[in-house]
A and B are shown apart, each in its own frame.
Chain A
C-alpha cells in the first residue's frame, strides 16, 4: 500500500503530539490529531497533547481498557501523569531524556526507577516505544484502512541527540510498528512550522544573510540551533549550521522552583504541604506564572490548594505569588542578564555516573545560550555567501559569538512575554557589544504544537511542496585509538581521535574509508571509545587528532563490534577499517570493513550506544 498521509510526530520529553496532512490534496496543510487517552479511570478523551508518561497499574486496579485494547495493564497519557502524584514509583516520566543518558544501558529494564517488585521494569527504549505505540494505535483507530505503518512518518528528535540516541529512537519507532520513518531535528521542525504558517510571505521575512536562532524550551529540555539563509543559483536556501548541547532544563523546573517559593510562604503560615498538595501546588504555580508573565493586569496571583479530604472548606490553603516573586524566580533565576562570556557551571564528571538523569547543574538558560553562541562563533566561516560577507565588512576583529539576525521561539515556556523580552534584550546586548545589529523576532504561531505541525510540513516539503533545510549530521564523529606508549602508572595512555564521519553528512551518503586500520578480535566483543564534535567542521575521514581544545570533543557512549567466527579462527586479530554512512532514515551507520575480506562486500555493523563506563 502506498502512503495516503504524511504524519509528523513530536515525541517530547513531557508531551507528544501528532499532525498529519493528506497527500492527495495539494492545498492541504498539517492538522493536529487529538489523541484518545485515558484521562481518569474508565474515562477516555481525545486531547491534542499526549503527556509522555507511562503508568503501570497495580493488579487491584484491573485492566486499563482503551477502545482498541480492553485488557491493557499500563496507561499512557493524562491519567498516567495524574497517577504520578499518587503513586510516583509506578510512573515513568521523561522517557526521552533517558535515551541520551550516557552511563546506563538504554536497552535494559531500569524504569520506573525504584518501582515495587510487581512492576516489570522496562528499558528507556521500550518506554519511548510505548508512547509511540499509543500514538500509532490512536491514529489507526481514527483512520480505518490507512494504518500508520503505511504512512510516511516524520519523527522529531532534539537537535542535540547524538548518533546513538537517534538510533535508539528509531529502534523504539520500529518496535511500535512505524515503518516508513525519517528523523527530523525539532528546531528545524519549528522553522518548517513557521514557514508553513507564513505561506509565501516567509520569503519576505528571511533573506540571504539571515541567521535564525531557534530557541526551543520545552517542559524538560532546552535546545538551540542556528539556521542560515543563503542564496544559491538564484534561489534562497536554508542551512542548519549549528546545534547546541542537550540541556535537561525546561518549564517543569521553573514551575517547581515557583512551587518551592509558594511552599515556603505557606510553611511560614504554619501550614504543612504533603506530596499530593505539592503536585497541585506545581499546577497552581504554572497557572500563576502564565498569568503574571503573560499579560500586564494585576500584580498578584492567588494560589489556593484544596485539602486532600472531602472537607474542602476550612481545609483549603491560600497564599499568593506576586509579580516580583515570579520575575525574580523565573526571569532572573532562569534567564539572568549575564555577559556574553558567561558559561554554565560544569558539574564534575564523576557525578554523571550516578543512576539518575543528568539534569543541568546550572539553571541559567542564558548562560547555556552564551556558551552555544560562543562555541559556534565560527559556524558560518565556511558557508558560501557568509565567509565573504563576514570578513569583508568594517569589523576587523573576529566575532566572539555567532551573530543571529532573527530569533524563532518554540516551546510552551516562551508563551510568557516577560521571558521572551528578557531573551531578546540579553541577546541584543551581546550583539551590540560585538558590534552587530539586534536580532528581530519571527512570530511563531503555535508554541506547543509547532514541532508536530512542522514535521508534517517537512514531509510535504520533501515532496516538492516547499523549501527544505539542508544541514546533514550536526556532529563529526571520531573513534578513539590508544597510542602505543610504555605504560606509566597513574597516567592514562594518550588517545588519538580518528575522524570516521565528517560534519554535515547528508542522508543517504557514505563517508570515504579512512586509511588507518584497527584490530578486531574474532569471536569476542571489541570496544572503541567514541567521540563527537559539534564544532570541528573541517576534519575529513581519517584525520587524526592528538590534541584538541577543551570542550571541542565530547566523549559519547562507546561503540562495540563482535566479529563472527565464520571462516576465521576465534581469537585471531583481523585488521579492519571503519566506514560510516548516514541512512535514509537519518541515523549513523558505522561498519567494520576487513582489509582482506573472505567474501565480497564483507562488513560488520558496529553497535552504537552500548552501556558506558
Chain B
C-alpha cells in the first residue's frame, strides 16, 4: 500500500469513483466502511458480502418487510407455521403450535410496534359520525348513502400502528434469509 498521499486531481477522480461504487457495490461499500476506521482491520470475510444470486438490490420497503418476517419467524416461528400444511392434524396439535406462535409473535409485536384501536367505543356500540370524518379511518358498510351525520353500529374498532420500531440491518446483510438452516455438529 502506498503511504505517500495521492495528488489532488487523482483524489477527485477517486472520490467520484468511490461515490458510485459505494452506492452500487455492497461488497465495496462494506470494505470502504471498514477502511474508515483508524486501526488496520482484516479484509471482510466472505460471509459479510452478499451472494450475488440471492441479493437483488432491495428497495428499503422490501428489506424492512423481510426483516419483519424474519423477526416473527425468529421470535414466534410464524413462517414455519404458515408454510406447514395443517389440514391433516387434529386441533390439539394445531392448538399447541398456535400457542408457540401466539406467545412469540405477540411478544415480538408488542416490542416493536404500538398498535391501538382507531375507535375507542366497544364493538356493537351505537355511534354518530359527523361530517368531516376520515374515510380512511372509518369504512362505511351496509346501507351507504345520503349525507352525514351517519348513525350506525361499530362492527370493528379498527387498528392503527401508532409506532413501529424495526431493527436495522447491518451493511451487507442478506435480508432474504428469514431463518438460516441449522446443522448440529
Tell me which residues across on chain B come within 8 A of A41, comparing CB atoms: 173, 180
How many residue pairs link A and B with beta carbons under 8 A? The number is 108
Tell me which residues across on chain B come within 8 A of A287, comparing CB atoms: 103
Tell me which residues across on chain B come within 8 A of A316, comparing CB atoms: 93, 96-97, 99-100
Does chain B have a CB within 8 A of A45? yes
Q: Which residue of the partner chain A has the closest CB to B47?
A: A62
Distance A62 CA – B174 CA, assembled complex (angstroms): 13
Tell me which residues across on chain A come within 8 A of B103, comparing CB atoms: 284, 287, 304
Tell me which residues across on chain A come within 8 A of B97, comparing CB atoms: 304, 306, 312-314, 316
Q: Name A300-315 residues within 8 Å CB distance of B.
A: 302, 304-306, 308, 310-314
Does chain A have a CB within 8 A of B130? no
Does chain B have a CB within 8 A of A394? no
**Shortest distance from the beta carbon of B48 to any chain A beta carbon, whole Å:** 5
Q: Name A56-71 residues within 8 Å CB distance of B.
A: 59-63, 65-67, 69-71
Q: Which residue of the partner chain B has the closest CB to A39?
A: B167
The 8 Å CB contact of B167, one of A44, A65, A284, A302, is A44
Q: Encode A241-285 as 1/0 by CB contact (under 8 A) with B.
A: 000000000000000000000000000000000000000000010
Please state if B84 and A304 are interface contacts (CB–CB under 8 Å).
no
Distance A547 CA – B143 CA, assembled complex (angstroms): 95
With A312-B81, A316-B96 given, is the CB distance from A70 to B168 under 8 Å? no
Does chain A have a CB within 8 A of B80? yes
Please state if B89 and A310 are interface contacts (CB–CB under 8 Å).
no
Please state if A60 and B99 are interface contacts (CB–CB under 8 Å).
no
* Chain A at the B interface: SS class: mixed
Q: Encode B86-103 as 1/0 by CB contact (under 8 A) with A.
A: 100100011111011101
The 8 Å CB contact of A43, one of B84, B93, B170, is B170
**Shortest distance from the beta carbon of B145 to any chain A beta carbon, whole Å:** 46
- The stretch that binds A, out of B3-11, B12-20, B34-42, B156-164, is B34-42
A-B contact pairs, 25 of them (CB 8 A): A39-B167, A40-B167, A41-B180, A42-B173, A42-B175, A43-B67, A44-B167, A44-B168, A60-B47, A65-B171, A67-B170, A70-B44, A70-B48, A71-B37, A71-B44, A284-B103, A304-B97, A304-B99, A304-B103, A312-B77, A312-B80, A312-B97, A314-B97, A316-B96, A318-B95
Q: Which residues of A contact B (CB under 8 A)?
A: 38-45, 59-63, 65-67, 69-71, 86, 284, 287, 302, 304-306, 308, 310-314, 316-318
Q: Which residues of B contact A (CB under 8 A)?
A: 30, 33-34, 37, 41-42, 44-48, 67, 70, 74, 77, 80-81, 83-84, 86, 89, 93-97, 99-101, 103, 167-175, 180, 182
